Structure 1
């Protein structure tokens, strides 16, 4: 098998986590490892795109609320709504209270149940409200919040794909990436993202540097709690669980940025 290059990892990350027209020539676990390590880079691209639209609307006089709605919409469009769909399916599976096999079957169904609807409404409202507050406080802070939340959302996937986390099913995206990332590599990626967020917020002031670090640490903690709960309930991770983790981390990051 040919040695995996960094470009293979980037292709895998962008090809599986975004709608950007990127060809993915390799789907083996070596490529998946590189792809999950590069997942925050895909999130960065999504976040920059979201912030760009939000800022464009702000500068055109649309107001913080409309800019926030547009900013929230961009990641949904650039992922074909897969993460939101995963969040809804995970909520339905957890909310069903059924054994793992039955819960996984519920998650595979194409319809969305009441728990999924509630989760989607609450998450989207929270993200929009948090971004509105961030844009009201500062256009730059709102843009940084949009970029940081999208990046941290994909960083949560890197950590969830670490060694020792099993797949709940033998097939699907969850099985393809479960356990592919070495723990040390996942932790190093988290440190790099946190350091980059802090450095990028330095121009906004010392308070924002601390907030940037918290906007990485607290969302990852929230995603880790959800990951452990899903692993206990379902016996491992699925593609839907990864989507739920991404939306959980993104929402928590935006809430942190909206405070103060």
Structure 2
């Protein structure tokens, strides 16, 4: 994937939306502009792509519940939808990042391990644990009510893409000169990233308000916790690899989604 060319002209929001949906989902959206300005708009719009992915996941889970399926099957289907809508790229990135970090090797060797097509033991173990955690948390949410399950699916998917917005902010370097990591590294102004984060936290709280005051606080805290844990991983990867890669972005998204689901499963 080529690095976007530098440009001084801002990209119209439609270009940013196309960039977000065209690079972060498999939805049939054509990326018509490929430069730093479009990448900036795309990463600022990333939570909107997450909102759509989460809504699709929630819809399938709720449909299965309405058809008589149990919470566990609904949870499995809900977890499967984001994987399908990203061609499993975020899960693949999570596994590759785990292999790179787990190797204990210098940055150059770790990055080479991450580019290999196979998945090592660290990656397999991480995938199993993360998917189990996501399914368990969603099963508990759907067991409470279809609305809580749907809220968990939407909030977690949106928080996952918010982590990407924050990871693409100023000052976060790319580990390689090519790939999606290089394409979006440092394109988002820090102030813009923080503004998007505040908006997503507020929206999550508003969604939780439909279920009560407790869910208002829990949904907002789920997003805060998700981006906080993703930030810890981001800083660790930046120290270990010298910057971010497309795999790291995938790992951040899955880490944030899992954290949000765990928080949403706590309490009553």
Q: TM-score range by the shorter chain?
A: over 0.9
Cα RMSD for the two superposed structures: 0.7
Q: Deviations over 1:34-59 (max 9, x none)?
A: 00000000000000000000000001
Shift of 1:3: 3.9
Give the drift of 1:60.
0.5
The list of structure 1 runs, each at least 4 consecutive aligned residues, that deviate by more than 4 angstroms after superposition, is none
Say if 2:242 is the partner of 1:235.
Answer: yes
SS at match of 2:150: helix
Question: Deviation of residue 213 (structure 1)?
Answer: 1.0
Task: Choose which of 240, 248, 252 in structure 1 pairs with 2:255.
Answer: 248
Q: Secondary structure at the match of 2:210?
A: helix
Which deviations, in whole Å up to 9, do the C-alpha atoms of 1:117-165 show, x marking residues without a partner? 0000000000000000011111101100000000000000000000000
Checking the alignment, whether the CA contact within 8 Å between 2:10 and 2:38 is kept in structure 1 is no
2-structure distance, mates of 1:198, 1:57 = 26
* 1:120 matched to 2:150: no
- Give the whole-Å Cα distance in 2 for the aligned partners of 1:118 and 1:197: 31
Aligned equivalents of 2:10, 2:162: Cα separation in 1: 24
**What are the ranges of 5 or more consecutive residues in structure 2 without an aligned counterpart?**
1-6
Partner of 1:135 in structure 2?
142
Per-residue CA distance 1:209-245 (angstroms, 9 max, x = gap):
0001111100100000000000000000000000000
What is the match of residue 210 of structure 2?
203
Residue in structure 1 matched with residue 4 of structure 2 by the alignment: none
Q: Distance in 2 between matches of 1:226 and 1:107?
A: 16
> For residues 116 and 199 of structure 1, what CA distance do their matches in structure 2 show?
36
Q: In structure 2, how many angstroms separate the alpha carbons of the residues matched to 1:188 and 1:3? A: 18
Alignment map for 1:1-260 (pairs within 5 Å): 3-260=10-267
**In 2: Cα distance, 1:132 partner to 1:59 partner:** 15
Per-residue Cα deviation, 1:71-92 (whole angstroms, up to 9, x for no partner): 0000000000000000000000
Q: How many Å separate the matches in 1 of 2:179 and 2:127?
A: 23
- Structure 1 unaligned segments of length 5 or more: list them: none
* Aligned length in residues: 260
TM-score normalized with structure 1 length: 0.99
Q: 1:24 & 1:32 partners in 2: Cα distance?
A: 10
* SS, match of residue 51 in structure 1: helix
Deviations 1:178-223 (A, max 9, x none): 0000000000000000111111111200000000111110010000
